[in-house]
Amino acid sequence: GKKLHTNAERTEFIGSLGYSAKAEPLEEREVMIPREWNETYTKYNELQKTCGFDLADYKGKRVTMCTFAVAQDGSEDELRCELLLYKNRLVGGSIYTVAADGFMRGLEAAPN
């Protein structure tokens, strides 16, 4: 994955997907990629694979999860972008709606 050391690099990456991100993350915390995956995590990783990531390589490892508030032009949806970083290297993530009945997308170009 891509090295994203600073918040500026992280928001620039989010911008490259077609979303605009607030300069500072809403949250940054360490999370453990579980060794044993339930169905939800397996599905989440299927989404990662469609974007060229695979969290299987990081089972049992601690990663940093950075959550940014993002917006997409022409959309009223309140969105979040979650970046998963291992030693500042992007290893996965998603874009999702705050509304529970919304969507979750991988880290790929925003649909028009």
111, pLDDT greater than 90: no
Concatenated DSSP letters of 59-81: TT-EEEEEEEEEE-TT----EEE
Look at residues 48, 51, 52, 25 and name the one whose alpha carbon lies nearest to residue 109: 51
Q: Residue 82: which residues within 8 A CB-CB, separation 6 or more?
A: 65, 66, 67, 68, 93, 94, 95, 96
112 - beta bridge partners? none
- Report pLDDT digits (tens) over 29-83: 999 999 999 999 999 999 999 999 999 999 999 999 999 999 998 888 899 999 9
100, pLDDT greater than 90: no
Please report the pLDDT score of residue 29 as a whole number: 98
Half-sphere exposure of residue 26, counting CA atoms within 13 Å on the CB side? 11
Give the chain's radius of gyration (CA, Å).
13
pLDDT band at 112 (very low <50, low <70, confident <90, very high): confident
Q: Which helix (H) or strand (E) holds 105?
A: strand 104-105
